[in-house]
Amino acid sequence: MSVPSTAIEIAAAVRSGELSAVEVLEVHLARIDEREEEINAFNLVLADKARSTAKAIDARVAAGEDPGVLAGVPLALKDNLCTHGIPTTCSSRILEGWRPPYDATVVQRVAVAGAVSIGKTNLDEFAMGSSTENSAFGPTRNPRDPERVPGGSSGGSAAAVAAGFAPLSLGSDTGGSIRQPAALCGVVGVKPTYGMVSRYGLIAFASSLDQIGPFSTTVADSALLLEAIAGHDARDSTSIDQPAPSLLESLGEGVSGLRIGLVTELMGEGIAPDVAARVRQAAAALEAAGATITEVSVPAASYGLSAYYLIAPAEASSNLARYDGVRYGMRVDAPTTAEMNAATRTAGFGDEVKRRIMLGTYALSAGYYDAYYGKALKVRTLIMRDFETAYTNVDLLLAPTSPTTAFKFGDKTADPLSMYLNDICTIPSNLAGHPAMSLPFGGGADGMPIGVQLLAPALAEATMFRAAAVLEAAAPALDEVWS
Amino acid sequence: MSSPLTRENVAKVAVLARLNLTEAEVDRYTEQLAAVLGHAEDLASLDLDDIEPTAHPLPLVNVLRDDVVTPGADRDEVLSQAPSVEDRRFRVPAILGEEP
Amino acid sequence: MNLTHEPIEGEHFVIQSETTGDQWEIVVGLEVHCELATATKLFCGCPNMFGDEPNTNVCPVCLGLPGSLPVLNRNVVELAMRLGRALRCSVEPSVFARKNYFYPDMPKDYQVSQFDQPINIDGWLDLPDGTRVGIERAHIEEDTGKNSHSGGSGRIHGADYSLVDYNRAGVPLVEIVGRPHIRHPEQAKTYIDELRAILLATGASDAKMEEGSLRVDANVSVRHVGDPELGTRCEVKNLNSLRSLGRAIEYEARRQVDLLETGERIKQETRHWDEGAGRTRDGRSKEEAEDYRYFQEPDLVPLVPSAEWIAAIDAAMPKLPAARRVALSAASGVSPTDPAVVIGVQRNLDALALAAIAAGGDGRRVLTHVEHNLAIDGAETLDASAFAQLVGLEIAGQLTATQAKTVLTEMVSSGRTPDVIAAELGFEAMDVNELEAVIDAIIAECPEEWADFCSGDEKKRGKLQGFFTGKVMKVTKGQADGKSVAEILGRRSA
């Protein structure tokens, strides 16, 4: 039995009664049965719950109701999104078994839209990493090549979509954690404008950088999902006071007359030649479609990595202090509370998490604040200014997403800094709070997917998606030989 | 930009962060953190004297809510997730030291 | 501990050393935390309620559950600004900051507070004695949960384990930091009284020390009288009443003088007041000095109150105690630092007093009643013109002071007028002619004593004044007015 591969098609078929949500779900559960053991995209597959949700949706359709724009679409949720009564672990031992007493806002919104939550996906522990090798529950494997990483931190969500386990998934992006795995797995991944999607119920890593966003196989599907989850939430003080943007409507408007800039600083020596070549190929495709391509400098982008690896760990060190064994999660007993806190955190946190907590604590500590955290906040200002200047001359920016294609397990785990360098192209957008997305654009010399990245000014998602649609139509097939 | 990171710094920070490190771990983390901070030395070449820090990318101000009671959490549900409970309160081992 | 240092000055509390003769003065700065009287907590819609069952007023936000986010309560901002403006502070754009430390009553292991950009700065509070105490800042922060200690002695030291209730976590507080302008334990108590009156008048807090909605910490240091430099201070905590506040300041000052006189230095530390033992104790030494690593709270946005909002608060500001004392003083002719004026405002009877004075009551007399005779329930319901009438009867000599007090009490409880009550109690003034007749009769009965009275011998006159007055009182059953009797005796003996 075949079902359509896109969310838009599935939802239309379910809403019209052509397809049942139960049928759709069973097809996807069968795929999970077949390959999940190999891929390990999920921390938890919600087969029973999904079945009862799907049944309920079919009942509503039968009763003449409209279950919503995501009706019957299986959807995977990164395991740092709170799901009421369902274990939410952040792929960490310290939260193993914790059942939140509430749903994240995005979880509520996709449910209201009729989606069928199919499982909680694996991630680098507490979203800290670029390969999902930092998960306490084992790594996720890249569906295109199981010897390689899927990227991170939302590796599970990217792999789930790439492997066909679900047409849609949600991830979170703090320094590239949606876009980079999307590129490495060959799917679409979007980080919206900071504040566009509510963070209520997203277990925080770095509060001024985190955003939730969609994974999908098509640009239109990401537009559909982003429309469903975006918009003001009174429970998030950092939520933009506007309704969800309209993206699907203008998706086909093309790029005629748009000015698009290739970011000089992000096309430099750190970028693999095959990746750079695909980005130039994408630029050519946009030009052929009527856009004007130029080279644009965003000088401060070169400093983004350093600023990010001071700001993000600083906020994380504070956000992760609450994991102290008192109210929930793991506890390792000891005679005093302070000792219990330390024993619990030492046993419960993995290596990378500890590293970042200490880095962040140091960057904030007395005598060092000005030199590190304080300085990084000023660099953030510079980055925002340089973007602002760039956007007086162009409407969108184009860059690689990841410097390389998916690397092999263990390649970058010995040297943390080498792992951090995966994020150089994605970090600047997080610091600036700007939207950015990755979409597949052919393969590399090793046959693995390459993603190209579109960057836009704040709240310019509609323009960004228009260009993405053009690139999607022009994208070379994955197995087209790179030359 | 600043003095190089020492083992003493790392040991002190571990205490602040409630993490127990072995001696070997202190060594390893010192090396790794020093490498990251070393990379961040590239910021030293920037002239930041007249630049204001940006704590937040959003230009929002004054987000407020009305002073009205809304439903809370179910106590039993919350306590059921706690490692140790007594008398409907969270139980913790002896607390040394007064509240700072 | 040498207890023979005695204070020798009234306004400043000066300790004079018996050994060296040096004179030391106390310098005190008070930090006061008040719980704001809002319906809900600072960042969530849980009830802001004292005394409920443990962990029933909680939600993901105030429990700091993973994924939860704070949203600022508008009424907290309103009350914090009212308080700030009442303390003559400047209201500034402000941000929130995280104060990071581990403690089990803190759900997030950081407290959301305000650090380098607080909402209210640079105000002052004028005390009844005329001292102006500077207010450095009054900022918003969240309260912690409550630990109770089990096993051992029930106090934190020696407890085997603790139990935590988060009902109070997230309750809104304003921390008021006073400058070190206080020089006397009594002044410290007056400061708190005055602050409490302001908190009640503005509706910002119910300010009850015994319920914990008002908490006071005292920073105490000493220095030689005349020395412009401040000494090293110690912070004293665990002050649960005004009495403790006064006692602790005095104890701590003496402790510091003792140390300094033996050549030791004061260690800057936090000390705890032990009410039972009547002394301060050093806090358990911490292995590491706390480094709070303050940074701007990224889950909240800045607070920029509009000029309109501030103006509305100023326009609606009720009359504050200092201004009320001035008004009562002006109307009554009694000094604003007089205890009668201070107490009148404290007891919220100044409106009544002003109305009674406006209705013709004698100011001094009205205030005397307010000070001594109206510490009773329902006093504020007293009718002002009836009050004025009562005072009039007193002044006219128709009621003695004692009688007036009795009538007043009855007026409050029954709401009836003084003339009716006086008549009922038989307090009617004697007719002057009747009184004269009584006195003449007594004079006739005691010719010898009368001759002595009129003799011109002052000593004899003084003694016999009492003799004759006593006789008059006996005959009239106490209804004669003392002043009238004296006046008549005077006339008769002229």
Q: Which fold has domain A7-250?
A: Amidase signature (AS) enzymes (3.90.1300)
- Which segment of A274-283, C49-58, C144-153 scores lowest on mean pLDDT? C144-153
Closest in A302, A327, A358 to B33, CB measured: A358
Q: C residues 4-33 near A, CB within 8 Å?
A: none
Distance from CA of C37 to the nearest CA of B (A): 11
* Contact state of C288 with B12 under an 8 Å Cβ cutoff: yes
| Weakest mean pLDDT among A137-146, A462-471, C478-487 | C478-487
Token representation of residue A395: 């409407």
pLDDT band at C426 (very low <50, low <70, confident <90, very high): confident
**% of chain C at pLDDT higher than 90:** 64
Q: Determine the pLDDT at residue C7.
A: 39
Residue C128 pLDDT: 86
Supply C294's token pair.
């303050």
If pLDDT is split at 50, 70 and 90, which confidence band does C135 have? very high
A384 and B54 within 8 Å at the Cβ level: the answer is: yes
Q: Is the pLDDT of residue C284 over 60?
A: no
> Is the backbone peptide bond immediately before A153 cis, with ω within 30 degrees of 0?
yes
With helix as H, strand as E and coil as C, how does C258-273 read?
HHHHCCCCCCCCEEEE
Pure H helices in A78-148: 105-112
| Residue in this structure with the two tokens 């401060």, named with its chain if needed | A300
Whether residue A234 is predicted with pLDDT greater than 80 in this model: the reply is yes
Give the pLDDT band (50/70/90) at residue C462: confident
Judged by a CB distance cut-off of 8 A, whether residue C107 touches chain A is yes
Q: Is A256 a catalytic residue?
A: no
Phi, psi angles (nearest 5°) of residue C133: -100, 120
pLDDT tens digit string along A102-136?
Answer: 999 999 999 999 999 999 999 999 999 999 999 99
Distance CA C50, CA C37 (A): 11
Residues of B (51-90) whose Cβ lies below 8 Å from C: 55-56, 58, 60-73, 75, 78-79, 86-90
- Minimal Cβ distance to C296: which of B55, B66, B67: B55
Q: Which of C60, C110, C293 sits opposite A102 (nearest CB)?
A: C60
pLDDT surpasses 50 at C3: no
List the single range of A166-170, A205-209, C385-389 with lowest mean pLDDT: C385-389
Q: What is the pLDDT of residues A356-373, one digit of tens each?
A: 999 999 999 988 999 999
Q: With 80 as the cut, is the pLDDT of residue C320 above it?
A: yes
The strand pair at C90-91 and C97-100 is best described as unpaired
Q: CA–CA separation, C173 vs C33, rounded Å?
A: 6
Q: What is the mean pLDDT of residues C388-414?
A: 89
| Contact residues, chain C, for A204 at CB < 8 Å | 66-67, 299
B68 in a domain, yes or no? Answer: no
Report the 10 Å Cβ neighbour count for C237.
18
For range B63-74, the mean pLDDT: 96
Out of A364-368, A378-382, C94-98, pick the least confident: A364-368
- Give the pLDDT of residue C257: 94
Inter-chain contact C156–B98, Cβ cutoff 8 Å?
yes
Partners of A371 on chain B (C-beta within 8 Å) are: 1-2
Q: Please indicate if any CB of chain B lies within 8 Å of the CB of C300.
A: yes
| Predicted local distance difference test score (pLDDT) of residue C4 | 37
A135 tagged catalytic: no
* Whether residue C2 has pLDDT greater than 50: no
pLDDT at A87: 98
Residues in chain B closer than 8 A to C304 (CB atoms): 61-62
Q: Which chain A residue's Cα is nearest to C63?
A: A327
Query: Cβ–Cβ of C67/A104 closer than 8 Å?
Result: yes
Torsion (CA) A134, A353, C297, C299 in degrees, nearest 10: 20
Cα C407 to Cα A19: distance, rounded to the nearest angstrom: 91
pLDDT, mean of residues C139-156:
82
pLDDT of residue A179: 98
Q: Is A354 a catalytic residue?
A: no
Residue predicted with more confidence, B27 or C449 = B27
CB under 8 Å to C482, separation ≥6 — which residues?
Answer: C400, C469
Residue C287 has pLDDT above 80, yes or no: no
pLDDT of residue A282: 98
Q: Which region among C50-64, C333-347, C415-429 has the lowest average model confidence (pLDDT)?
A: C415-429
B95 touching C, CB under 8 A?
yes
Amino acid type, B14: A
pLDDT at C433 over 90: no
Candidate ranges A390-394, C368-372, C451-455; pick with highest mean pLDDT:
A390-394
Residue in B54, B65, B97 closest to A380 by CB: B54
Contacts of B39 in chain A (CB under 8 A): 305-306, 309, 417
Nearest to A251 by CA among A291, A220, A280: A220
- What is the count of residue pairs from A and C with beta carbons less than 8 Å apart? 98
pLDDT, tens digit, 9 for 90 and up, residues A17-59: 999 999 999 999 999 999 999 999 999 999 999 999 999 999 9
Could you tell me the residue ranges of all domains in chain A? 7-250
Residue pair A193/A245 in contact by the 8 Å Cβ criterion = no
Residue C12 has pLDDT above 90, yes or no: no
Q: Judge whether residue C1 has pLDDT over 50.
A: no
Give the pLDDT score at A233: 98
Given this model, what pLDDT does residue A402 score? 98
Per-residue pLDDT averaged across C339-359, rounded? 91
- Tokens 């006593």 correspond to C470
Cβ atoms A63, A55 nearer than 8 A: no
Using the predicted structure, report yes or no on whether residue A6 has a pLDDT greater than 90.
yes
Q: Which of C63, C71, C283 sits opposite B78 (nearest CB)?
A: C63
A88 vs C contacts (CB less than 8 Å): 66
Could you tell me if residue C303 is left (phi over 0), alpha (psi between -120 and 50 degrees) or otherwise beta?
beta
pLDDT digits (tens, 9 = 90+) for C182-204: 999 999 999 999 999 999 999 99
pLDDT at residue C387 in the model: 94
For residue B25, what is the domain's CATH number? Answer: 1.10.20
Decide if C288 touches B, using CB distance below 8 A. Answer: yes
Segment B35-61 mean pLDDT: 91
Under an 8 A CB cutoff, do A318 and C295 touch?
yes
**Domains: count for chain B:** 1
Residue spans per domain, chain C: 3-311, 321-424, 432-493
CB contact under 8 A, C104 and B92: yes
Alpha carbon separation from C253 to C24, C219, C232, C238 (Å, rounded): 9, 10, 11, 17
Looking at residue A167, its pLDDT comes to 98
In sequence order, the β-bridge partners of residue C280 are: C273
Domain that holds residue B19: 7-44
Q: Which residues of B touch A412 (CB under 8 A)?
A: none
User: What mean pLDDT do residues C14-26 have?
Assistant: 86
**C270 pLDDT higher than 80:** yes
Residue B2 distance to chain A (closest CA, Å): 7
**Overall average pLDDT of the A280-288 stretch:** 98
Residues 6+ apart with CB under 8 A from C99: C110, C111, C112, C113, C115, C292, C294
Which residues from chain B sit within 8 angstroms of residue C104, using beta carbons? 90, 92, 95
Chains that contact B by 3+ CB pairs under 8 Å?
A: A, C
Q: Which of A153, A154, A157, A216 is catalytic?
A: A153
A468 contacts A454 by C-beta, under 8 angstroms: yes
pLDDT tens per residue, range A441-476:
999 999 999 999 999 999 999 999 999 999 999 999
pTM for the full model? 0.90
A247 CA: distance to closest CA in chain B (Å) = 22
Nearest chain C CA: its distance from A233 CA (Å): 11
A238 sits in the region (left: phi over 0; alpha: psi -120 to 50; else beta) called: alpha
